[in-house]
Amino acid sequence: MKNFIIMLTLFSCLFGKSQTEAKSIYSESFKLKMIDGSDLDLSTLKGKYILFVNVASECGFTPQYQGLQKLSEDYKENLVVIGVPCNQFGGQEPGSAEEIQQFCSSKFHVTFPMSEKAEVKGSSKHPLYAWLTSQEKNGVSSSSVKWNFQKYLINPEGMLVDYFYSTTKPNSSKILDLIK
């Protein structure tokens, strides 16, 4: 009997459910400190897609702010774009919160939510990015943030759908086909 239980356990581990199961971002009770000092409880966004983008003001991809703003406006009923300023890639986001807000507002008329500056890689990465980049935590895939303007798409149920490198423009069919 003991051997049968061991074999059953082994069989279950090998052929049963994966040990990594999809997990909702909402099960983590994430709160983001926003650039204006307020707090955003991500659970208030249930039922909408969320596109997290680590952003920077002095990057070759900075013009993507325009596409992100258009995406935010065009799909405002079912999508929230959230910019996450980050200075970890070439020091391309050196400004203060006020400077970042001023830049985004005056140059690109950004109205989508922006968090405070955060780390998106390394041992001090923000807990949200620890979840976004770890299959063990999100249940879907592991990744690393390679550069500014990398995008992570969350579905209305809070599950990671996919991530897109900086070269994927906000209006790319790769993104649009998933949120339509």
- pLDDT tens for each residue of 77-100: 999 999 999 999 999 999 999 999
> Is residue 135 in some structural domain?
yes
pTM: 0.88
- pLDDT tens for each residue of 130-154: 999 999 999 999 999 999 999 999 9
> Is residue 159 in some structural domain?
yes
Can you give the residue range of the structural domain that contains 139?
Answer: 19-179
> Is residue 13 in some structural domain?
no
> Is residue 28 in some structural domain?
yes
> Is residue 8 in some structural domain?
no
Tokens for 55, please give them: 């952003």
Separation CA 122–CA 129 (nearest Å): 10
Count of helix runs (H) and strand runs (E) in the chain: 6, 6
> Is residue 5 in some structural domain?
no
Tokens for 177, please give them: 């086909």
Q: What is the pLDDT of residue 29?
A: 85
CA 9 to chain centre: 36
CATH number for the domain that contains residue 122: 3.40.30.10
> Is residue 1 in some structural domain?
no
Please say whether the beta carbons of 118 and 86 come within 8 A: yes
- Residues designated as active site: 59
What's the pLDDT band for 9 if we cut at 50, 70, 90? very low
Identify the CA nearest to 58 among candidates 107, 92, 105.
92
- In the chain, how many domains are there? 1
> Is residue 11 in some structural domain?
no
DSSP letter, residue 102: H
Average pLDDT score, the chain: 91
Distances from the Cα of 14 to the Cαs of 10, 11, 22, 45, in angstroms? 6, 5, 18, 37
Question: DSSP characters for 113-179?
Answer: -BBPP---SSTT--HHHHHHT-HHHHSS------STT-EEEE-TTS-EEEEE-TTS-TT-HHHHHHH
Partners of 164 in beta bridges: 151
Distances from the Cα of 146 to the Cαs of 91, 114, 122, in angstroms? 14, 20, 11
Asked if pLDDT for residue 7 goes beyond 90, the answer is no
Q: 92 by DSSP, 3-state: which?
A: coil
Q: What is the pLDDT of residue 8?
A: 40
